[in-house]
């Protein structure tokens, strides 16, 4: 998903709709703006189902792309 796609999606909802992330084991938690970060990414690094597809890159100079990462608080 790109920022443009996310903005288009968010425009479909009322401005006061809560934004949440999955809880560690159960439930959901409000997304805290302090837990959103812009990071360099290495794309398509992992194939194992228990990893995410991409990995935070060690260097912004050699990364494949940049992304917004939404983390639990």
Q: What is the pLDDT of residues 17-71, one digit of tens each?
A: 999 988 888 999 888 889 899 999 999 999 999 999 999 999 999 999 999 998 8
d(CA 20, CA 31): 5
Q: Where are the domains of the chain?
A: 32-73
pTM of the entire predicted model: 0.74
d(CA 26, CA 20): 13
Residue 64's closest CA among 41, 32, 38? 41
**pLDDT score at 45:** 96
């Amino acid at each position: 998903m790109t920022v443009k796609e996310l903005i288009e999606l968010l425009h479909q909802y009322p401005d006061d709709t809560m934004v949440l992330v999955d809880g560690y084991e159960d439930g959901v938690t409000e997304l805290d703006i302090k837990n959103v970060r812009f990071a360099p990414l290495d794309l398509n690094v992992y194939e194992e189902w228990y990893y995410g597809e991409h990995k935070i890159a060690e260097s912004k100079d050699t990364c494949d792309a940049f992304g917004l990462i939404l983390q639990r608080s």
